[in-house]
Structure formats: C-alpha cells, structure tokens
Chains A and B, each alone.
Chain A
Amino acid sequence: GENVEQHPSTLSVQEGDSAVIKCTYSDSASNYFPWYKQELGKGPQLIIDIRSNVGEKKDQRIAVTLNKTAKHFSLHITETQPEDSAVYFCAANSYGQNFVFGPGTRLSVLP
C-alpha cells in the first residue's frame, strides 16, 4: 500500500521568509496530492492540491511542486506571516484508494 513520509516534523522561520515542506510517496499509481493546514482546535483545511499531470501549481503565496519520477512533492510558502503558523499535512491517493496522510509538519512563523 501507499506510504507517505513528510519532512521536517517541525519548522521555524522568521516572518517574511519562505518555508518548504517535503513529502515522498511510495505508490507510483498515486495521482492526487493535497496539502492541508490544521490550526489549533480546528480540523484540517485543504489549502492547495495537485494532480499528477501537472508539475507545479500556485495560489498566491503558496505553491506545490511535484516530481513524479522521484515520487516527491513539496509545499512552498513565501512571505510567511504569523497566521501561517499551523500543522501542515500532505496526502496522496489514487483511483479507488483512500487518502494516505503524512505525519505532519508544525510550522512556526516568528515575528
């Protein structure tokens, strides 16, 4: 079955700097890769996703890149702000399969 690894487990950046979180997956059949943000006391919220027929997707300050050959994908947050502080989860899935989540990255943006 699919296995998703995520690094780093914790990340601290200064406000205004960029943050990058990386995930690797094992199942080459996986074709959908979402990223979720979970703030304290809330459920995970989808912030961006990418399908395997695309190499990069951007939405304002966040972007996701996908390398199918290497089976890894990354979340990039530019110009970080304190409200970006949260736990971020990556996930992978494919047709007929359930989502497999990474263990999460706790991002702290220091003012």
Chain B
Amino acid sequence: ETGVTQTPRHLVMGMTNKKSLKCEQHLGHNAMYWYKQSAKKPLELMFVYNFKEQTENNSVPSRSSPECPNSSHLFLHLHTLQPEDSALYLCASSQDPPDPEKLFFGSGTQLSVL
C-alpha cells in the first residue's frame, strides 16, 4: 500500500446509476487530487483540493462531482454517466506547495459504464 487507499477497486455502472468513489490518505498530506486515466491518453487532472478547498476544476462535466469533507478523505460522486466515462480513476495526495512535492497515488478504481 502506498498510503493512499481507494475503494472500490472495480465498478460497473449503468448510465442511470449513482455511485461514489472513495479515497483516503494516511500520509498527513493536505492536498488531494482526482485524475482520470483513459486508454491511450495522458493522465487527466480533474480536481484538486488544498486544505479541503477546491482549487482546481478542469472543466469536468457535472456528472462527476467531488467532495472533500476533510484533508484525509476525498469522494467522487458519479451519476448519469456516459460510456466515455469508463476509465481508471486515480486519487493522489501531496503536501501543499510552496515547493513541488512528491505526489502519491492510490491503486485506482476501474470504472466501466455500460
């Protein structure tokens, strides 16, 4: 384990379902991230939270919405998804800048939208 835990590991959803992805970090970091990893594409940054406040939202469709109740937990709520939302969703954490710091990833949730 890297210190960043994601659940579930796998998820199959119909387009009308609602589900949430969960991430927990045990590293004492204060920044958390959601990335989307699709086949043959670079890692796409979706959301960033610093000290529980959202600081980045990279034009992600509203069918994916994040929640960060505290600096150790991060959720991604999913609803009315499309097939193109099928991907590996990765959570990561880091210590807040000023200096660039190491980014630690969880194992991801493999999402399949039917």
What is A's interface to B at a CB cutoff of 8 Å? 31-32, 34, 36, 41-46, 49, 51, 89, 91, 93-96, 98-99, 101-104
Q: Which residue from B6, B33, B103, B108 sits with its C-beta under 8 Å from A34?
A: B103
The number of A-B residue pairs with CB atoms under 8 Å apart is 50
Which residue of the partner chain, among B42, B92, B99, B106, contacts A103 with CB atoms under 8 Å? B42
Residues in chain A near residue B106, CB distance under 8 A: 43
Candidates B45, B48, B99, B108; contact of A43 at CB < 8 Å: B108
Give the residue of B92, B98, B102, B103 whose beta carbon is less than 8 angstroms from that of A95.
B98
Main secondary structure, interface of A, reads loop
- Say yes or no: B97 contacts A95, CB within 8 Å: yes
**Interface on chain B toward A: helix, strand, loop, or mixed SS?**
loop
B56 on the A face (CB < 8 A) = yes
Count B interface residues, CB 8 Å.
Answer: 23
A103, B108: Cβ atoms under 8 Å?
no
Per-residue CB contact flags for chain B residues 1-21 toward chain A (1 = under 8 Å, else 0) read 010101000000000000000
Please determine whether A104 and B56 come into contact, CB atoms closer than 8 angstroms.
no
Give the residues from 20 to 78 in chain B that come closer than 8 angstroms, CB to CB, to chain A: 33, 41-43, 45, 48, 56
A45 pairs with B100, CB closer than 8 A: no
**Which residues in A have their C-beta under 8 angstroms from that of B99?**
32, 95
